[in-house]
Amino acid sequence: MATATTHVLVDTPSSQLIDLRQDTYSVDGLKNRSVLLGNVIASDSVQARIARRAHVPVEVLRIQAPLTSERPAPPVDSRNARHTTDILNSNDQYRIDVKVNPTVPMLDIYAQTPDAKSAAALANAAVDELTAYLATVVATQDTPEKDQIRLVQLGRATGVVINEGVRWQAAILMFLLTLGISCATVIFLARVRAGWRQAALSERAVEG
């Protein structure tokens, strides 16, 4: 299993972060806009475009939108939500987890895939397709440049392997679970048979 990380600063053409003439309310507004942009990444249309750019089957890609104090957990019916069965399939998953920095308007994008190359491609694809989506919106609405959101990727993502033995660990875990279930079944059946035998002996004693 491998992961890749990249960070995207959400700013304006006249930077709100380095211009001391700007008030802090403008920065707060950009932080709220960051949450919106994180949800755009997780939208179905952008998710499909990310999958195509990263050469990942769209049906196996899962994207977690930013969680906030208003929404501390994903909807229970979300297909992108994590499940307990994920641990057995973790080495074959393609996931993007989008987080919003609580102090500055920045998107933290974490990608998880089976290998380092695809993890980097997936993380960078999320940034590229978000940028492309905003460019489409700008062209459609003819938004003036001074009113446009400016995304600054702080370095392209590079992937790293975080656990080369995760497949073996998952296999061992599956084996232990199967062994435990089998042992429990054997014990249960033995107790049932013992109960039947005891009941038969009791009936014979009554009849005698």
Same domain, 21 and 83: yes
Same domain, 45 and 131: yes
SS3 state at 74: coil
Same domain, 169 and 140: no
Q: What is the pLDDT of residue 165?
A: 56
Q: What is the pLDDT of residue 87?
A: 44
SS3 state at 113: strand
For residue 86, which amino acid is it? D
Same domain, 33 and 112: yes
Structural domain boundaries, residue 188? 165-208
Q: Which residue has the higher pLDDT, 52 or 20?
A: 52
Statement: the pTM of the whole predicted model exceeds 0.85:
no
Nearest to 123 by CA among 153, 92, 86: 153
Same domain, 115 and 12: yes
Same domain, 76 and 144: yes
- Core vs surface per residue 139-168: b (16+ CB within 10 A) or e: eeeeeeeeeebeeebeeebebeeeeeebee
Structure tokens at 62: 């899962």
Residue 32 pLDDT > 80: yes
Same domain, 156 and 115: yes
> Domains in the chain: how many in total?
2
Same domain, 173 and 139: no
Roughly how many angstroms between the first and final C-alpha of the chain, as a whole number? 68
Q: Whose structure tokens read 């999320």?
A: 126
Q: What is the pLDDT of residues 92-124, one digit of tens each?
A: 689 999 999 888 899 999 999 999 999 999 999
Same domain, 192 and 119: no
Lowest-confidence region among 12-16, 93-97, 104-108, 126-130: 12-16
Same domain, 172 and 149: no
Same domain, 94 and 194: no
- Continuous segment of H or E residues that includes residue 154: none
Q: What is the pLDDT of residue 208?
A: 58
SS3 state at 164: coil
Same domain, 116 and 194: no
Residue 26 pLDDT > 90: no
How many other CB atoms are found less than 10 A from the CB of residue 206?
Answer: 7
